[in-house]
């Protein structure tokens, strides 16, 4: 295999897209945890 080829990023065009997606996912998850805690506590 040719090791000089750049790594292909699946699903998004760039790695920056992955970073943004993970950051948004974590923020939404934290927000949902806060809502659940306030509702059930």
Q: Which helix (H) or strand (E) holds 38?
A: helix 15-40
| Residue 6, in any domain of the structure | no
Predicted local confidence at residue 2, as pLDDT: 60
| Residue 17, in any domain of the structure | yes
| Residue 18, in any domain of the structure | yes
Check if the beta carbon of residue 34 is closer than 8 Å to that of residue 27: no
Predicted local confidence at residue 14, as pLDDT: 85
- Distance separating alpha carbons of residues 25 and 32, to the nearest angstrom: 11
CA angle 34, 28, 25 (to 5 degrees): 140
- Distance separating alpha carbons of residues 39 and 14, to the nearest angstrom: 38
Tens digits of per-residue pLDDT, 3-24? 677 777 678 888 899 999 999 9
| Residue 30, in any domain of the structure | yes
Residue 1 has pLDDT above 60, yes or no: no
Domain count, the chain: 1
């Amino acid at each position: 295999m040719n090791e000089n080829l750049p790594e292909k990023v699946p699903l998004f065009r760039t790695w920056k897209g992955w970073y943004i997606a993970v950051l948004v996912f974590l923020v939404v998850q934290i927000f949902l945890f806060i809502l659940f805690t306030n509702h059930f506590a």
